[in-house]
Structure 1
Amino acid sequence: MSIFINKILCPAPQKKRMTVFNRLGLRYITMFLSFTTCIVIYTKTSPMLFSVKPENVNTESSCSCQSCVMDVGEDEWFAYRHNPTVPPLLNRKNSVLRRDVYKWWMALQHSSLKVNYTEIVDQLFTLFPDEDHYSDPGPDRCRTCAVVGNSGNLIGSRYGPLIDFHDVVIRINKGPTKGYEKDVGSKTTHRILYPESAVDLDNYTHLVLFPFKIQDMQWLISTFTTRHIRRTYMPVKPTINANEDKVMILHPGFIKHVYDSWLQKHGRYPSTGFITLIFALHICDEVNVFGFGASSGGAWHHYFDKTNTHFKAGPHGGDFENKTMHELLQRKKISIYKGFK
């Protein structure tokens, strides 16, 4: 290659008047061009060095995990549904509801009692943390989350250590851990529940209220103060053990967002399991799902009892929720551990 370049750059002189300086200059030019040619050839064949990135392409990841929920890329389906600006949790600052949100949420109520929503919010954040939770995303964060459902497919799964390895472990309603540690783990950082599914919590777990109705907020206040609410549409616990400094309330606007954008208005409102999954997509960088779906034999029941259930039952768009969850799996936004091969 250098000989070829020399022939081009150094044609035979007609007169022998080239000085030593000129000869040395051409020699250095030839060596430089030869070296540059080698670099170009090596760059094209080496996968490690001198890689050139296309201009105007943002290759920075939104977090430090291997795969990040917020890395949308060219995924228009996900970008259309996932709105990171919708606050998942209520605080005093974001508590004023849009008219359409308030109208939709109040239409879910079974009670005809007239209540002052603003007064209830004031009471809530006199008792519980008034914070902008989980507003710390960034390229250096990797928050791994396990969403643990209550499906019988967890029986014999031995997922316990894997579940407990996550930074955040979110459990749903009454799903117990005691006696099931090998399959479901023992760690709980968040438990999403409503009055009719309330259980006692340890001092380290966040109680995350899913307010289907405004009476659920009243119950939450009552259970830490007067303890007078003992019934909604069914008997409820008037008090539970929980750390009031770790209480959170899902935002009614977030519930409507999940219903409108993710469920495309199937059913009346989201199931607790589905809204927990979307909540995780908002606060986590990597989401792994356990305990959803049927058992290996096709039965739908809880791992802690044999009561038969079905994803199509109730006021939720269960079939559509199931399809959406598997679409998230196909798009590599979540991983699903089904408990059997």
Structure 2
Amino acid sequence: MGFLDDDWFMYRYNPTIPALLNRKNSVLPGDTNKWWRGLQPSKLRVNYTEVVDQLFSLFPDEDHYSDAGPDRCRTCAVVGNSGNLLRSNYGQLIDSHDLVIRINKGPTKGYEKDVGFKTTHRVLYPESAVDLDDNTHLVLFPFKIRDMQWLISTVTTRHITRTYTQVKSSIKANKNKVMILHPAFIKYAYEKWLQKNGKYPSTGFITLVFALHVCDQVNLFGFGATSNGTWHHYFDKSHTHYKGGPHKGDIENITMHQLEHRNKISIYKGY
């Protein structure tokens, strides 16, 4: 099926939406600003423009991934944290991709055979922060302005130790490889891809949509249940349930499988 003759996909996919924030694209349209501020846990009176100015005086102010074209072939592995990765032996396959995007705390140490060891991008927010090595891009998903302030604080005053819970005051990361997801992109994933189901999309789902915008071939690992239908992380046994919380996991799941059905992504189930 051709890229342009798929109405379902073209209705959702907007190539002009900015994926990553920079100074030039940082002014938020009124509806985006209102929606994004509605996600904030408290009505902090924060000057967004000042926060952005400070962000880009510390971190790269670039138009990332603006190199789309017919000759580009960027392969991406999006690695979730599902228990279905255990005994999958996907490590080598995952590491063969140009970009390996990992989500939140999913570790590689001790799990290399199943999840690989290469990490080019690590998606996180203050509550899921971990130390990164020097070659990894920190991709901040700012669900709230406080997240941007926290990122600034980690390399300056280190005074932010709490959001709605306790967070690390600093983390090890290469500040020249920091990227910040555009708030408009979170809204876009919610409104266009999830059709406004739930309160906002999960980190994993936003990462998938992000990958569709910066990659030419997207392969998903570590999403979904294990073969016996349980939902837990590969690195601990705490059970997660995809229908719980503010996310509409069932709609996210259906959308992912629609993308696979339309040959836009491949999903590796581990069994």
Q: Normalising by the residue count of structure 2, what TM-score does the alignment of the two structures yield?
A: 0.99
Tell me, in whole angstroms, the C-alpha distance in 1 between the residues paired with 2:220 and 2:11. Answer: 22
Counterpart of 2:59, as a letter, is F
Match of 1:38 in 2: none
Match of 1:331 in 2: 262
In structure 2, the gaps of 5 or more residues are: none
Select 1:132's aligned residue among 49, 63, 69. 63
User: Which whole-Å deviations, capped at 9, do the CAs of 1:44-78 have from their partners, x for residues lacking one?
Assistant: xxxxxxxxxxxxxxxxxxxxxxx9xxx61310110
User: Which whole-Å deviations, capped at 9, do the CAs of 1:187-235 have from their partners, x for residues lacking one?
Assistant: 0000111100000000000000011110000000000110000000000
Residue 138 of structure 2 aligns to a residue in which SS? strand
> How far has the Cα of 1:141 moved from its partner?
1.0
Match of 1:280 in 2: 211
Tell me, in whole angstroms, the C-alpha distance in 1 between the residues paired with 2:196 and 2:225. Answer: 24
Select 2:22's aligned residue among 74, 91, 109. 91
Select 1:111's aligned residue among 42, 47, 62. 42
Question: What is the aligned residue count?
Answer: 271
User: Which whole-Å deviations, capped at 9, do the CAs of 1:246-302 have from their partners, x for residues lacking one?
Assistant: 000000011101111000000111100000000000000000000000011111000
Counterpart of 1:77, as a letter, is W
Match of 2:110 in 1: 179
Match of 1:260 in 2: 191
Q: Does 2:58 correspond to 1:120?
A: no
Residue 311 of structure 1 aligns to a residue in which SS? coil
Identity across the alignment (%): 75
User: Which whole-Å deviations, capped at 9, do the CAs of 1:117-163 have from their partners, x for residues lacking one?
Assistant: 00000000000000000000112110000000000000000000000
Decide which structure has the larger Cα Rg and report it: 1
Select 2:99's aligned residue among 168, 184, 198. 168
Tell me, in whole angstroms, the C-alpha distance in 2 between the residues paired with 1:88 and 1:318. Answer: 22
Match of 2:155 in 1: 224
Tell me, in whole angstroms, the C-alpha distance in 2 between the residues paired with 1:240 and 1:188. Answer: 16
Tell me, in whole angstroms, the C-alpha distance in 1 between the residues paired with 2:120 and 2:167. Answer: 23
Tell me, in whole angstroms, the C-alpha distance in 2 between the residues paired with 1:217 and 1:72. Answer: 35
> How far has the Cα of 1:112 moved from its partner?
2.6
Tell me, in whole angstroms, the C-alpha distance in 1 between the residues paired with 2:65 and 2:59. Answer: 16
Q: Normalising by the residue count of structure 1, what TM-score does the alignment of the two structures yield?
A: 0.79
Match of 1:304 in 2: 235
Select 2:72's aligned residue among 138, 141, 161. 141
Tell me, in whole angstroms, the C-alpha distance in 2 between the residues paired with 1:291 and 1:311. Answer: 13
Determine which structure has greater relative contact order: mean sequence separation of CA pairs < 8 Å that are 6+ residues apart, divided by chain length.
Answer: 2
Residue 206 of structure 2 aligns to a residue in which SS? helix
Residue 205 of structure 2 aligns to a residue in which SS? helix
Tell me, in whole angstroms, the C-alpha distance in 2 between the residues paired with 1:214 and 1:159. Answer: 37
Tell me, in whole angstroms, the C-alpha distance in 1 between the residues paired with 2:165 and 2:33. Answer: 24
Tell me, in whole angstroms, the C-alpha distance in 2 between the residues paired with 1:112 and 1:85. Answer: 30
Select 1:234's aligned residue among 165, 182, 187. 165
Select 1:270's aligned residue among 181, 195, 201. 201
4+ residue runs over 2 A deviation = none
Counterpart of 2:231, as a letter, is W
Tell me, in whole angstroms, the C-alpha distance in 1 between the residues paired with 2:18 and 2:38. Answer: 21
